[in-house]
DNA sequence: ATTTTTGCAAATCATTTGCATATAT
DNA sequence: ATATATGCAAATGATTTGCAAAAAT
């Protein structure tokens, strides 16, 4: 099968598959392309719809499987929006946090300088042995701030 | 209808309903009871199952509606577990964060002393006007740490 | 040649909705 | 009395699964 797609940066996604030893199928490259083209976060349904609209012939299950796979490889993160929706964002594999624009959905990664102190403090107070943490920030991105209302 | 339940502390839940002007129905008291009896976090399905097992005759929809209501009143928080599951935990209405035990599911609330500095720093670096944040911590609680394996 | 992937349709879950009836105020 | 709340069954949505066919190694 042949997919007709553009040239967004699928490299990090495809490279992750390769390094982990997964097969580099046409379909996975196509899904990587759909992901790379996205601005801001997107849902599984968004991709399924996009694939359908473009008649790519990629099955729903395949898209879910690819999303799971990329998420496992840490090149895609699944966000739980405050609305309860599940959205995805491509990202760096290293530990980091996301700043999500509540207007346009675009996200940026942020390092948690100084957060370790806070985590340690909470560990001390609660007696928990903290293993992981997740910090999510919501606000208005620079571009949207520059725009009047919306 | 008459429900036969124990005496867990439903007060904060019921009081919240009352203060917000919602009707104090038998059914809502019963759901509050089911919630208050829980140790650790629970899912909507857990409560539905519990209600069914005890033949309380509370409909599924009613339970979902009650959960939504308590969550709106900030006496119950909906957590998005790393597994993707949605769980709930009763909590104080003030801003806080949860420390979740990855073994038994029990949670504790934690104040974010020092977190504001981190948030401000991220705001400065990213240019976002941060509106809200959510910090979730996962680890092993004191009780579970004291227990050998599990 | 063998193992991994895929598409499809059906199955499974989670959550919501419409609506007539019951209940709290 | 009147507005709210409830139960039920059906609708909707999201995600998963089984499996035979197709593609990658």
A93 contacts A74 by C-beta, under 8 angstroms: yes
* Alpha-carbon distances of B113 from A72, A81, A129, B145, rounded to whole Å: 32, 24, 18, 25
Residues 6+ apart with CB under 8 A from A141: A99, A101, A103, A104, A106, A108, B126, B127, B128
Mutate to test the interface with B, among A78, A128, A129 (most CBs of B within 10 A): A128
- Non-local CB neighbours of B44 within 8 Å, separated by 6+ positions: B63, B64, B67, B86, B88
Which of A77, A58, A59, A57 is CA-nearest to residue A67?
A: A77
How many whole angstroms separate alpha carbon A78 and alpha carbon A42?
10
- CB B65 within 8 Å of CB B53: no
- Contact of A110 with chain B, judged by CB distance below 8 Å, is answered with yes
Interchain CB contact of A85 with B (< 8 Å)? no
Q: Assign residue B42 the CATH number of its domain.
A: 1.10.10.10
Q: How many structural domains are present in chain B? A: 1
- Which structural domain range is residue A37 located in? 2-146
Task: Kindly state whether B83 is in contact with chain A, defined as any CB-CB distance less than 8 angstroms.
Answer: no
> What is the residue-averaged pLDDT of chain A?
93
Confidence of residue B145 (pLDDT cuts 50, 70, 90): very high
* CB-based contact B137 A127, cutoff 8 Å: no
Confidence of residue A83 (pLDDT cuts 50, 70, 90): confident
* Res B5 pLDDT > 90: no
Cα of A140 to nearest chain B Cα, Å: 5
Comparing A48-62, A77-91, B1-15, B105-119, which segment has the lowest mean pLDDT?
Answer: B1-15
Q: Is the pTM of this model over 0.75?
A: yes
**Intra-chain end-to-end CA distance of chain B, in Å:** 41
pLDDT, mean of residues B46-66: 97
Assign B4 a pLDDT band (cuts: 50, 70, 90): low
What's the pLDDT band for A148 if we cut at 50, 70, 90?
confident
CA-based nearest distance A107→chain B, Å: 10
- pLDDT tens digits, B19-52: 999 999 999 999 999 999 999 999 999 999 999 9
More confident residue, A135 or A149: A135
Query: What DSSP character marks residue A42?
Result: B
Q: Classify residue B5 by its DSSP letter.
A: -
A99 touches chain B (CB under 8 A): yes
What residues contact residue A17 under an 8 Å CB cut-off, 6+ apart?
Answer: A23, A24, A28, A32, A69, A73
Can you tell me which residue has its alpha carbon closest to the C1' of nucleotide C22? B1
pLDDT tens digits along A25-66:
999 999 999 999 999 999 999 999 999 999 999 999 999 999
Q: How far is A70 from chain B (nearest CA, A)?
A: 15
Model confidence at A113, pLDDT cuts 50, 70, 90, reads confident
B148 touches chain A (CB under 8 A): no
Q: Does nucleic acid strand D have an atom less than 7 angstroms from the CB of A26? A: yes
Tell me the pLDDT band of A8, cut-offs 50, 70 and 90.
confident
Distance of CA A47 to the CA centre of its chain: 13
Predicted local confidence at residue A6, as pLDDT: 65
Could you tell me the pLDDT band of residue B6, with boundaries at 50, 70 and 90? low
* B68 in contact with nucleic chain C (CB within 7 A): yes
Average pLDDT, chain B: 93
Helix (H), strand (E) at residue A9? none
Which of A108, A122, A128 shows the shortest C-beta gap to B126? A108
Which nucleotide's C1' sits nearest to the alpha carbon of B23?
C24
- Residue A15: pLDDT over 70: yes
Chain A 12-71, residues with CB within 8 Å of chain B CB atoms: none
Structure tokens at B104: 């038994």
Q: What percent of chain A has pLDDT over 70?
A: 94
> What token pair was written down for B141?
């609680």
Q: B99-114, pLDDT tens digit by residue?
A: 999 999 999 999 888 9
């Amino acid at each position: 099968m042949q997919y007709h797609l553009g040239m967004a940066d699928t490299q990090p996604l495809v490279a992750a598959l390769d390094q982990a030893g997964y097969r580099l199928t046409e379909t996975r490259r196509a899904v990587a392309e759909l992901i790379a083209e996205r601005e801001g976060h997107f849902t599984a349904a968004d991709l399924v719809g996009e694939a359908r609209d473009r008649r790519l012939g990629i099955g729903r299950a395949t898209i879910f499987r690819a999303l799971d796979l990329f998420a496992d490889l840490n090149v895609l993160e699944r966000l739980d929006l405050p609305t309860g929706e599940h959205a995805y964002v491509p990202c760096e594999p290293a530990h980091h946090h996301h700043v999500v624009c509540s207007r346009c959905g675009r996200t940026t990664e942020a390092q948690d300088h100084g957060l370790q102190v806070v985590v340690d403090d909470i560990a001390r107070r609660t007696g928990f042995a903290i293993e992981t943490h997740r910090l999510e920030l919501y606000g208005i991105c620079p571009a949207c701030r520059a725009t009047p209302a919306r």
